[in-house]
Every structure is written in C-alpha cells, then in structure tokens.
Amino acid sequence: MEEKLDILLEQSNKKYWENFDGRTYFDRAIFLSWYCSIGDCKFCFMSTQKDQIKNPKLAKRQINSLYAEALICKHMNWKVGFLSGGYGVYDYEKIVEIIKNVYQITGQKQWLNIGVVPKDVLTKLKPYVEGVTGSIETVNPSVHEKVCPSKPIDPIIKMYSDVDTLGLKKGMTLIIGLGESIEDFPLLEKFIKEHKIDKIVIYALNPIKGTEFKRGPEKEYYLTWLAKTRISFPKLEIVAGSWTSRLDYLSLMKSPGANSFTKLPVWKVIGTEKAKTISKEMEIAERVLMSDFENVLDIDWEKEIETIDISQSDRKEVLDQIKLYLSKKYEE
C-alpha cells in the first residue's frame, strides 16, 4: 500500500506542477444558518441538532455576523469556498440579497452550496455567482442511500443541466470514509466526466459526536483518493479538507495535488502557533501560501466597514462581530 501510494503521489504531484503554479489558498465555507430542513444525513452536525431546534427561523445566522466573516475573508485573502446551508430557513429573495452583498464585500463571484436551487433563482443569482456545488457526498449508490436518505442525487443532476444553460461552473462535494472503498473510484471518474465538474471538495470524514460515525479514514486511504483524482483530472480544481488536529498533514495533501485546503477551525488558528505551522507546512510542500493567518491585527476594520452598503447600526454590529471572531473566544 505504502509503495503504491508513493508512486501515486509522485504522479499526482507531477500532474499538479504541469498545470498549476503552486499558489495555494485557504477556502472558507460560510454557513447561512445552523439548521437544515433535510437534516438527516448520517454524518452531519445538522442531524444532531434538528430535534432540538423547534423554530428553524431562530437558527438563522445574524446576517451582520456573516458579513463580518466575509470581510475577514477578503482581508486575509481567504477564498469564500462556498456559501452553504440554509435549506428551508431563508426565502430565495433573502438569499439573493445576501449573496449580492457578499459579492460586493469580497469582490469575488461566489460558489453556492445551498441545495437544489430552481432555475429562475439561479438566473437572479448569476451576476454574483461563479458556480454551483452539488452535495454529492459519495458516489457509491448504496452508501448514498444509507447516509443521505433524504437527499437524492437526481435533483442535483437536473440542477447541473440548468447551471450549464446559464454558463455557470459546477462543483461537487465528496466525503471519504462514509463506507465506500477505493474500488468505487471509477464511479467518481464517471461522474466528473459525465457532468463536466469544474471543482471538487474532497473531505476526510471528521466524525461528529452524536452521529453513528466514530472514526475518520486512514490518512493513506484519503490521500489515495486525492491523488487518483488529480491523476485522472489534471486541470480540475481540487480542494482538500483539513483540521487543526491534522495540520501536519497539510504538506502531504499537496503531493496529491490539491489547489487549496479548507475546514480549519480558523478562529482558533489566526495569530497563533498553529498559523505558523500552516506556513511551515506550505514551505515543506514548496507551495506559495496566498492566504494570511497571522497579520490580522494590522487592519483598520472601522475604516473597512465604512465601505459596506449597510446602515450605521448594522455597521456597528459587523464591527462587534469582527472583534468577537478575532478575540479567539468564538467557538465554531
């Protein structure tokens, strides 16, 4: 296994450098709410919360906290990986307003991961959106049926064809460790080819307390999925999952050829020793880290907030929220 993985990593690293230039970003997913009307995917934090949240509207995020997060992303040069969640919480009109504002704050067109969105809404979102992500999670059909009983893939595929007609990009998520095996890799290859996927986010399962999953996948197994994906799709944008307990894996994730990394509990990282570990890991991987985790204190946030087109009292809330995020007292 080890020897075979070595060969895969060598090949995937070569493919990466033939097609990319080493610039590596942190991708930050911004969540719209702490509730999801589907709520029964077996691995998901939301599935542990659904029964406890009597009124989904109360699980809405304060929008000003979301804008605060977007502003921090802009200044730390983190990419907003996608705007995520919110199924059954906001009406589409509100979602369009939020995404437009995040686009204005960051100056970047956004990726969405907000479930199956009707075509007329996608049309309204188009000016602010680069692409739409389908939460595929696993390409093994029987595993999918078991772990995502209320989230079938067919409506996502139908949405992909709407996304195509609007000229937007298509993304997908994949979680390694849900019960699939590496024998399923050809199914992933087929899916990416068939639906002309532009961006894939590949997570290693991070077991959530209260779910049936107790262990994440072995490192070698996860790296094998990443490497094989890069070898089969040299130009695909690949985002690799990560978390602080495995920061020492970051350099390893680069050999399989990921373009960026995501899923850091980032408020506990900025300005700490962990931030330095990230920089070191990127050096080991001979990558150029484009995102900042260290210099957050140099920014005049009050001045920055003046540029957002919201009321003065909302601006004050955004500023308070930025201070809370940067205080390291904020728990994700």
Footprint of ligand SF4 (CB under 6 A): 36, 38-39, 41, 44, 46-47, 85, 87, 135, 151
- Tokens linked to 251: 């350099």
Amino acid at 272: T
Q: Closer to ligand SF4 at the Cβ: 20 or 43?
A: 43
Least separation in angstroms between CB 151 and ligand SF4: 5
Q: Closer to ligand SF4 at the Cβ: 50 or 219?
A: 50
Q: Closer to ligand SF4 at the Cβ: 39 or 56?
A: 39
* Residues 291/292/298/304 CA torsion (nearest 10 deg): 30
Q: Closer to ligand SF4 at the Cβ: 135 or 242?
A: 135
Least separation in angstroms between CB 181 and ligand SF4: 21
Residues with Cβ within 8 Å of residue 304, at least 6 apart in sequence: 71, 75
Q: Which of 236, 229, 261 is nearest to 247 (CA)?
A: 261
**How far is the C-alpha of 156 from the C-alpha of 88, rounded, in Å?**
16
Residues with Cβ within 8 Å of residue 271, at least 6 apart in sequence: 293, 294, 296, 297, 326, 328
**How far is the C-alpha of 39 from the C-alpha of 318, rounded, in Å?**
29
Least separation in angstroms between CB 69 and ligand SF4: 18
- Tokens linked to 192: 């990416």
Least separation in angstroms between CB 71 and ligand SF4: 25
Q: Closer to ligand SF4 at the Cβ: 34 or 221?
A: 34
In contact, 291 and 77? CB cutoff 8 Å: yes
Least separation in angstroms between CB 135 and ligand SF4: 5
Least separation in angstroms between CB 116 and ligand SF4: 10
Q: Closer to ligand SF4 at the Cβ: 94 or 274?
A: 94
